[in-house]
A = this chain, B = another copy of it.
Amino acid sequence: MNVTISSTSDKPIYQQLHEQISAQILGGELESGYCLPPIRQAALELHVSVITVKKAWEELERNGLIHTVTGKGCFVAEFSPDEMLRIRNEMVLKQMEGDIQYYKSFGLTLDEVIALLGKIY
């Protein structure tokens, strides 16, 4: 578990957790079959409530990224590299739609956005 919780962020903790674990799974850092730490242990380590961890894990399961076995633990799901890429792009595109809406409201063209991105990526 290599996760950082920011209490100053305006994002809820469970969402921070979900995003970071998602990224680690879809980025290949966590392999298929890997067993996440027990939710109670994760809660202790991260100094958050069990329920908060549970909420993050539930969202991971809804997205098909992990697979919970009661009494055993939570395991990273099995998928092919292609599937992984597809799911990753799906998640990123969903976020990107909102980002684009913001840029467009300021009248930015695609070229202007790309130019700005290039400066700070």
Contacts and interface: CB of A to CB of B under 8 A. Distances in A.
A69 B7 contact: yes
A8 interface: yes
Q: How many monomers of this protein are in the complex?
A: 4
B110 A117 contact: yes
Contacts of A91: 106
Interface residues of A, number: 40
A33 interface: no
Given A7-B72, A8-B67, A69-B7, A120 B96 contact: yes
Q: Is the interface of A mostly helix, strand, loop or mixed?
A: helix
Interface of A: 7-8, 12, 19-20, 22-23, 26-28, 67, 69-70, 72, 88-89, 91-93, 95-97, 99-100, 102-108, 110, 113-114, 116-121
18 contacts: A7-B72, A19-B102, A22-B106, A28-B107, A89-B116, A91-B106, A92-B106, A92-B116, A93-B119, A95-B99, A95-B102, A96-B117, A99-B99, A100-B121, A110-B117, A110-B118, A110-B121, A114-B114
Given A8-B69, A27-B106, A92-B103, 7 more contacts: A19-B105, A23-B106, A92-B106, A92-B108, A93-B119, A96-B120, A99-B99
